[in-house]
Amino acid sequence: MRTLPAGMQAHLDTRATTLAWCWRITRTDNVKLGFTDHDKDLTFDGATFEANAGFTGTEIAESLGLNVDHLEAESAFKSDHLAEEDLNAGLYDDATIEIWRVNWANVAQRVLMRKGSLGEVTRREGAFVAEMRGLAHYLNQEFGRRFQYACDADLGDARCGVNLTLATYKGTGTVLTAPTRLRFTASGLGSYTEGFFNGGLVTWTSGPNNGRKIEVMRHTLSGSTATIELWLPAGKTIGAGNAFTITAGCDKTFPTCKTKFNNALNYRGFPYIPGNDFMARYPKSEDPRDDGSSLFN
Protein backbone atom coordinates (compact mmCIF):
# COMPACT_ATOMS: atom_id res chain seq x y z
CA MET A 1 0.00 0.00 0.00
CA ARG A 2 1.50 3.32 -1.07
CA THR A 3 1.55 6.41 1.07
CA LEU A 4 0.75 9.43 -1.07
CA PRO A 5 2.30 12.85 -0.47
CA ALA A 6 -0.12 15.13 1.35
CA GLY A 7 -0.57 17.44 -1.63
CA MET A 8 -1.19 14.50 -3.96
CA GLN A 9 -3.87 13.04 -1.69
CA ALA A 10 -5.61 16.39 -1.42
CA HIS A 11 -5.58 16.73 -5.21
CA LEU A 12 -7.12 13.27 -5.67
CA ASP A 13 -9.81 14.09 -3.12
CA THR A 14 -11.03 16.96 -5.31
CA ARG A 15 -12.16 14.34 -7.91
CA ALA A 16 -11.28 16.81 -10.68
CA THR A 17 -7.71 15.75 -11.33
CA THR A 18 -4.99 16.87 -13.69
CA LEU A 19 -2.91 13.69 -13.87
CA ALA A 20 -0.43 12.35 -16.39
CA TRP A 21 1.85 9.34 -16.73
CA CYS A 22 5.62 9.83 -16.89
CA TRP A 23 8.21 7.22 -17.80
CA ARG A 24 11.92 7.59 -17.03
CA ILE A 25 14.39 5.20 -18.66
CA THR A 26 17.99 4.85 -17.49
CA ARG A 27 20.00 3.00 -20.13
CA THR A 28 22.94 0.74 -19.41
CA ASP A 29 25.29 3.57 -20.49
CA ASN A 30 23.68 5.77 -17.77
CA VAL A 31 21.87 8.00 -20.29
CA LYS A 32 18.49 9.06 -18.84
CA LEU A 33 15.42 9.67 -21.01
CA GLY A 34 11.98 10.88 -19.95
CA PHE A 35 8.60 10.63 -21.69
CA THR A 36 5.06 11.63 -20.78
CA ASP A 37 1.58 11.21 -22.25
CA HIS A 38 0.81 14.83 -21.36
CA ASP A 39 0.64 17.32 -24.24
CA LYS A 40 3.49 19.47 -22.84
CA ASP A 41 6.95 18.61 -21.51
CA LEU A 42 7.16 18.12 -17.74
CA THR A 43 10.27 18.62 -15.60
CA PHE A 44 11.07 17.24 -12.14
CA ASP A 45 13.95 15.48 -10.37
CA GLY A 46 16.34 17.21 -12.76
CA ALA A 47 14.84 15.40 -15.76
CA THR A 48 12.67 16.56 -18.64
CA PHE A 49 9.82 14.26 -19.65
CA GLU A 50 9.22 14.72 -23.33
CA ALA A 51 5.70 15.04 -24.73
CA ASN A 52 4.64 13.97 -28.22
CA ALA A 53 7.08 11.05 -28.21
CA GLY A 54 4.37 8.52 -29.02
CA PHE A 55 5.13 6.69 -25.77
CA THR A 56 2.18 4.87 -24.17
CA GLY A 57 1.79 2.05 -21.67
CA THR A 58 -0.68 -0.75 -21.00
CA GLU A 59 -2.62 -1.22 -17.79
CA ILE A 60 -0.45 -1.75 -14.71
CA ALA A 61 -1.29 -4.96 -12.88
CA GLU A 62 0.19 -6.10 -9.58
CA SER A 63 0.03 -9.48 -7.88
CA LEU A 64 0.94 -10.82 -4.46
CA GLY A 65 3.81 -13.22 -3.93
CA LEU A 66 6.84 -13.60 -6.19
CA ASN A 67 5.07 -13.66 -9.55
CA VAL A 68 6.78 -11.43 -12.10
CA ASP A 69 4.52 -8.45 -12.79
CA HIS A 70 4.86 -6.89 -16.19
CA LEU A 71 3.31 -4.40 -18.57
CA GLU A 72 4.10 -3.22 -22.07
CA ALA A 73 5.24 0.19 -23.28
CA GLU A 74 4.70 1.05 -26.92
CA SER A 75 6.22 3.90 -28.89
CA ALA A 76 6.93 5.14 -32.35
CA PHE A 77 10.46 6.38 -33.06
CA LYS A 78 9.27 10.01 -32.98
CA SER A 79 11.63 11.43 -30.37
CA ASP A 80 15.03 12.85 -31.28
CA HIS A 81 16.38 10.90 -28.29
CA LEU A 82 14.69 7.59 -29.09
CA ALA A 83 16.48 6.05 -32.07
CA GLU A 84 16.06 2.61 -33.61
CA GLU A 85 19.85 2.38 -34.01
CA ASP A 86 20.31 2.63 -30.24
CA LEU A 87 17.69 -0.06 -29.69
CA ASN A 88 19.45 -2.35 -32.19
CA ALA A 89 22.78 -1.67 -30.47
CA GLY A 90 21.44 -3.07 -27.20
CA LEU A 91 21.62 0.18 -25.23
CA TYR A 92 18.14 -0.46 -23.84
CA ASP A 93 18.74 -4.08 -22.83
CA ASP A 94 17.86 -4.42 -19.12
CA ALA A 95 17.52 -0.64 -18.82
CA THR A 96 15.89 0.61 -15.61
CA ILE A 97 12.43 2.12 -16.03
CA GLU A 98 10.36 4.14 -13.56
CA ILE A 99 6.67 4.95 -13.96
CA TRP A 100 5.32 8.04 -12.21
CA ARG A 101 1.80 9.35 -11.73
CA VAL A 102 2.13 13.13 -11.78
CA ASN A 103 -0.13 16.13 -11.30
CA TRP A 104 0.91 18.06 -14.38
CA ALA A 105 -0.42 21.29 -12.88
CA ASN A 106 1.96 20.87 -9.90
CA VAL A 107 4.68 18.29 -10.56
CA ALA A 108 5.71 18.32 -6.89
CA GLN A 109 2.59 16.21 -6.39
CA ARG A 110 3.64 12.84 -7.78
CA VAL A 111 4.05 9.22 -6.77
CA LEU A 112 6.31 6.44 -8.08
CA MET A 113 3.98 3.66 -9.26
CA ARG A 114 6.43 1.10 -10.50
CA LYS A 115 10.14 0.44 -10.98
CA GLY A 116 11.61 -2.39 -12.99
CA SER A 117 13.66 -3.16 -16.07
CA LEU A 118 13.05 -3.51 -19.79
CA GLY A 119 12.70 -7.08 -20.99
CA GLU A 120 11.82 -8.42 -24.41
CA VAL A 121 11.58 -5.81 -27.18
CA THR A 122 9.71 -6.47 -30.42
CA ARG A 123 9.98 -4.18 -33.43
CA ARG A 124 7.80 -3.32 -36.34
CA GLU A 125 8.01 -0.59 -38.97
CA GLY A 126 8.76 2.70 -37.24
CA ALA A 127 7.68 1.50 -33.78
CA PHE A 128 8.53 -0.90 -30.96
CA VAL A 129 6.87 -2.61 -28.01
CA ALA A 130 8.98 -3.11 -24.87
CA GLU A 131 8.09 -5.38 -21.97
CA MET A 132 8.64 -3.97 -18.51
CA ARG A 133 9.41 -6.58 -15.87
CA GLY A 134 9.07 -6.14 -12.12
CA LEU A 135 12.07 -6.54 -9.84
CA ALA A 136 10.96 -10.09 -8.95
CA HIS A 137 12.19 -11.33 -12.34
CA TYR A 138 15.78 -11.16 -11.02
CA LEU A 139 14.85 -14.06 -8.72
CA ASN A 140 14.48 -16.26 -11.82
CA GLN A 141 18.08 -15.65 -12.84
CA GLU A 142 20.96 -17.86 -11.79
CA PHE A 143 23.58 -16.49 -9.42
CA GLY A 144 26.70 -18.11 -8.10
CA ARG A 145 28.80 -20.88 -9.62
CA ARG A 146 27.73 -24.10 -11.27
CA PHE A 147 29.66 -27.38 -11.43
CA GLN A 148 30.08 -27.89 -15.17
CA TYR A 149 32.64 -28.95 -17.74
CA ALA A 150 33.00 -25.50 -19.34
CA CYS A 151 34.73 -22.52 -17.73
CA ASP A 152 32.35 -20.00 -16.14
CA ALA A 153 34.76 -17.04 -16.14
CA ASP A 154 34.66 -14.28 -18.74
CA LEU A 155 37.80 -14.11 -20.82
CA GLY A 156 40.05 -11.38 -19.44
CA ASP A 157 38.24 -10.86 -16.11
CA ALA A 158 39.91 -11.08 -12.70
CA ARG A 159 39.10 -14.78 -12.31
CA CYS A 160 40.44 -15.63 -15.75
CA GLY A 161 43.60 -13.52 -15.57
CA VAL A 162 44.35 -13.35 -19.32
CA ASN A 163 45.64 -9.90 -20.29
CA LEU A 164 43.61 -8.96 -23.36
CA THR A 165 45.54 -5.71 -23.85
CA LEU A 166 48.54 -7.68 -25.15
CA ALA A 167 49.04 -7.65 -28.90
CA THR A 168 49.01 -11.46 -28.73
CA TYR A 169 45.30 -11.39 -28.01
CA LYS A 170 44.21 -8.00 -29.33
CA GLY A 171 44.31 -6.76 -32.91
CA THR A 172 43.47 -3.49 -34.63
CA GLY A 173 41.87 -3.32 -38.03
CA THR A 174 40.32 -1.06 -40.63
CA VAL A 175 37.16 -1.87 -42.57
CA LEU A 176 37.66 -2.44 -46.30
CA THR A 177 34.12 -3.35 -47.33
CA ALA A 178 30.88 -3.85 -45.43
CA PRO A 179 28.11 -5.53 -47.46
CA THR A 180 25.83 -5.59 -44.41
CA ARG A 181 25.83 -4.54 -40.78
CA LEU A 182 26.53 -8.17 -39.89
CA ARG A 183 29.58 -8.76 -42.05
CA PHE A 184 32.65 -6.84 -43.17
CA THR A 185 36.17 -7.36 -44.48
CA ALA A 186 39.17 -5.72 -42.86
CA SER A 187 42.90 -5.18 -43.11
CA GLY A 188 45.40 -5.33 -40.27
CA LEU A 189 44.56 -8.83 -39.01
CA GLY A 190 46.59 -10.93 -41.43
CA SER A 191 49.03 -12.13 -38.76
CA TYR A 192 46.30 -13.95 -36.79
CA THR A 193 45.22 -17.47 -37.72
CA GLU A 194 41.77 -18.09 -39.10
CA GLY A 195 39.21 -18.53 -36.34
CA PHE A 196 41.40 -16.85 -33.72
CA PHE A 197 38.72 -14.21 -33.06
CA ASN A 198 35.72 -16.57 -33.11
CA GLY A 199 33.67 -15.63 -30.05
CA GLY A 200 35.74 -12.50 -29.50
CA LEU A 201 34.66 -8.88 -29.24
CA VAL A 202 34.80 -6.01 -31.73
CA THR A 203 35.04 -2.50 -30.26
CA TRP A 204 34.56 0.33 -32.74
CA THR A 205 37.05 3.18 -32.37
CA SER A 206 35.77 5.44 -35.15
CA GLY A 207 32.77 5.90 -37.40
CA PRO A 208 29.04 5.94 -36.56
CA ASN A 209 29.39 2.99 -34.14
CA ASN A 210 32.30 4.51 -32.20
CA GLY A 211 32.50 3.10 -28.66
CA ARG A 212 30.06 0.26 -29.22
CA LYS A 213 30.92 -3.42 -28.80
CA ILE A 214 29.60 -6.47 -30.62
CA GLU A 215 30.48 -10.16 -30.29
CA VAL A 216 32.13 -11.99 -33.18
CA MET A 217 30.52 -15.11 -34.60
CA ARG A 218 33.12 -16.08 -37.21
CA HIS A 219 36.58 -14.95 -38.33
CA THR A 220 37.95 -16.17 -41.67
CA LEU A 221 40.98 -15.26 -43.79
CA SER A 222 41.62 -14.85 -47.50
CA GLY A 223 45.27 -13.98 -47.88
CA SER A 224 45.86 -11.04 -45.55
CA THR A 225 42.21 -9.90 -45.67
CA ALA A 226 40.03 -10.91 -42.76
CA THR A 227 36.27 -11.37 -42.90
CA ILE A 228 34.40 -10.75 -39.67
CA GLU A 229 30.83 -11.94 -39.12
CA LEU A 230 28.97 -10.58 -36.09
CA TRP A 231 26.36 -12.23 -33.90
CA LEU A 232 24.17 -9.11 -34.01
CA PRO A 233 23.99 -6.30 -36.59
CA ALA A 234 25.88 -3.13 -35.79
CA GLY A 235 23.62 -0.37 -34.54
CA LYS A 236 24.56 1.90 -37.42
CA THR A 237 25.97 1.41 -40.90
CA ILE A 238 29.56 0.15 -41.08
CA GLY A 239 31.63 2.17 -43.55
CA ALA A 240 34.96 1.67 -45.30
CA GLY A 241 37.74 3.19 -43.22
CA ASN A 242 36.02 2.60 -39.87
CA ALA A 243 38.62 1.53 -37.30
CA PHE A 244 38.16 -1.08 -34.60
CA THR A 245 39.93 -3.27 -32.09
CA ILE A 246 39.17 -6.96 -31.78
CA THR A 247 40.02 -9.37 -28.96
CA ALA A 248 40.49 -13.13 -29.05
CA GLY A 249 37.59 -15.45 -28.39
CA CYS A 250 37.42 -18.45 -26.07
CA ASP A 251 35.14 -21.49 -26.35
CA LYS A 252 35.45 -22.12 -22.57
CA THR A 253 37.05 -25.57 -22.96
CA PHE A 254 40.13 -26.76 -21.11
CA PRO A 255 42.22 -27.54 -24.24
CA THR A 256 41.65 -24.00 -25.54
CA CYS A 257 42.55 -22.47 -22.18
CA LYS A 258 45.72 -24.55 -22.04
CA THR A 259 47.00 -24.24 -25.62
CA LYS A 260 45.63 -20.90 -26.86
CA PHE A 261 46.04 -18.85 -23.69
CA ASN A 262 48.54 -20.89 -21.62
CA ASN A 263 46.18 -20.35 -18.69
CA ALA A 264 45.36 -23.85 -17.45
CA LEU A 265 45.97 -22.95 -13.80
CA ASN A 266 43.17 -20.40 -13.92
CA TYR A 267 40.63 -22.61 -15.70
CA ARG A 268 37.30 -22.15 -13.91
CA GLY A 269 35.54 -25.26 -15.17
CA PHE A 270 35.67 -28.91 -14.12
CA PRO A 271 37.07 -30.79 -17.13
CA TYR A 272 37.28 -34.13 -15.32
CA ILE A 273 33.85 -34.10 -13.73
CA PRO A 274 31.88 -37.28 -14.62
CA GLY A 275 29.31 -36.64 -17.32
CA ASN A 276 25.90 -38.07 -18.13
CA ASP A 277 27.43 -41.15 -19.76
CA PHE A 278 29.18 -42.06 -16.52
CA MET A 279 26.04 -41.49 -14.45
CA ALA A 280 24.02 -43.79 -16.75
CA ARG A 281 26.54 -46.64 -16.79
CA TYR A 282 25.81 -49.95 -15.14
CA PRO A 283 28.04 -52.97 -14.40
CA LYS A 284 28.77 -55.45 -17.17
CA SER A 285 30.36 -58.86 -16.90
CA GLU A 286 33.14 -57.89 -19.30
CA ASP A 287 34.13 -54.79 -17.29
CA PRO A 288 37.56 -55.10 -15.59
CA ARG A 289 37.44 -55.93 -11.91
CA ASP A 290 39.20 -53.07 -10.22
CA ASP A 291 38.44 -50.19 -7.92
CA GLY A 292 36.33 -48.43 -10.55
CA SER A 293 38.90 -45.81 -11.55
CA SER A 294 38.93 -47.14 -15.11
CA LEU A 295 35.44 -45.77 -15.58
CA PHE A 296 36.93 -42.29 -15.72
CA ASN A 297 39.27 -43.14 -18.60
Judge whether 258 lies within some domain.
no
Judge whether 235 lies within some domain.
yes
Judge whether 70 lies within some domain.
yes
Q: By the 8 A CB rule, do 126 and 76 touch?
A: yes
Judge whether 272 lies within some domain.
no
Q: Are both 120 and 176 inside the same structural domain? A: no
Which 3 state secondary structure label does DSSP give 294? helix
Judge whether 124 lies within some domain.
yes
Q: Are both 39 and 121 inside the same structural domain? A: yes
> What average pLDDT score do residues 168-181 get?
95
pLDDT computed for residue 134 by the predictor: 64
* Residue in 117, 108, 153 with CA at minimum distance from that of residue 135: 117
pLDDT computed for residue 125 by the predictor: 61
- Where among 86, 118, 140 does a domain terminate? 140
- Per residue in 3-37, pLDDT (tens digit) is 787 788 888 888 889 998 888 888 878 888 888 88
Q: Are both 186 and 228 inside the same structural domain? A: yes
pLDDT computed for residue 174 by the predictor: 96
pLDDT computed for residue 244 by the predictor: 97
Residue 46 — pLDDT band, cuts 50, 70, 90? confident
The count of domains in the chain is 2
Q: Examine the pLDDT at 233 and tell me if it is beyond 80.
A: yes
Q: By the 8 A CB rule, do 186 and 222 touch?
A: no
Q: Examine the pLDDT at 204 and tell me if it is beyond 50.
A: yes
Please tell me the distance from the alpha carbon of residue 26 to that of residue 73, in angstroms, as a whole number.
Answer: 15
- Per residue in 130-150, pLDDT (tens digit) is 667 766 656 666 667 778 889
Q: Are both 38 and 130 inside the same structural domain? A: yes
- Per residue in 61-92, pLDDT (tens digit) is 444 444 444 555 655 445 556 666 676 667 77
Q: By the 8 A CB rule, do 7 and 1 touch?
A: no
Say which residue, 137 or 284, is predicted with more confidence: 284
Q: Are both 230 and 132 inside the same structural domain? A: no
Q: Examine the pLDDT at 160 and tell me if it is beyond 80.
A: yes
Q: Which residue range(s) make up the domain with 219?
A: 170-247
> What average pLDDT score do residues 206-223 get?
93
Judge whether 99 lies within some domain.
yes
Please tell me the distance from the alpha carbon of residue 182 to that of residue 199, in angstroms, as a whole number.
Answer: 14
The DSSP code for 207 is: S
pLDDT computed for residue 127 by the predictor: 62
Please tell me the distance from the alpha carbon of residue 106 to that of residue 103, in angstroms, as a whole number.
Answer: 5
- CATH for 182: 2.40.10.170
Judge whether 146 lies within some domain.
no
Q: Are both 31 and 122 inside the same structural domain? A: yes
Say which residue, 122 or 271, is predicted with more confidence: 271
Judge whether 79 lies within some domain.
yes
Please tell me the distance from the alpha carbon of residue 285 to that of residue 144, in angstroms, as a whole number.
Answer: 42
Q: Are both 119 and 198 inside the same structural domain? A: no
- CATH for 43: 2.30.110
